Amino acid sequence: MQGVRTRQRKGTDMHMHRIWRRNTNYLLAAVAVATFAFAPPAHGTESNTLTTIADGTTVKIIAIRATKKNAKIAPELRALAKKLKSQFQYTGFAIESKAAKKVAVGKPFSAKAMKTFEVKITPKKIAGNRVTLEVVVVEKGAKRLNTVYTISKGRYQLAGGWKVSGGDALIIAVTAQ
């Protein structure tokens, strides 16, 4: 081949190249094994981490009145304020009611959120640090929300924005511990 210059590997250079290449292959194999060995279990295989029906969880409901009339935020809601403001576009947040109860998996827990709203929460599954909750919000007999959330224990899930008196809105925050 004319015009093509290649460098021939000689003795030690060729030997070092083979060693480097072999070690790289071993390293890649070790990384692949470690990736699969420490990966979380596949969906649906969390066997012994499921809580029994009798164990249950403590469910908490906070009914929040959101307003644009002021920027007052209840002290208990300061940790949620940024999330509330970004998700619902209101400036002020006050607690209307709170309720908490230890509930067995599959058993519903109901609480009044405001005069015309009722919240019913049913824990469906507890797996490790995750809780699956069925949440139903009813206003005067009509369902306003019927959904299932899977959340980390202690983290609040927000829902709502339903109009109430004075141009304000109802937001509910639910969690399980």
Q: What is the DSSP string of 130-162?
A: EEEEEEEEEETTEEEEEEEEEEETT--EEEEEE
For the chain, list residues with pLDDT below 50.
36-38, 41-53
This prediction has a pTM of 0.68
Exposure letters 49-61 (e unless 16+ CB within 10 A, then b): eebeeeebbebbb
Please give the structure tokens belonging to residue 10. Answer: 């000689």
CA neighbor of 63 nearest in space, from 24, 112, 132: 112
pLDDT at residue 49 in the model:
40
Q: Name the residue ranges covered by the structural domains of the chain.
A: 57-176
Q: Given this model, what pLDDT does residue 115 score?
A: 87
The pLDDT assigned to 2 comes to 60
pLDDT score for 50: 42
> What pLDDT is attached to residue 96?
94
Please list the residues that pair with 175 across neighbouring strands.
60
- pLDDT tens across 97-143, in order? 999 999 999 999 999 988 899 999 999 999 999 999 999 999 998 99
Number of other CB atoms surrounding residue 48 within 10 Å: 4
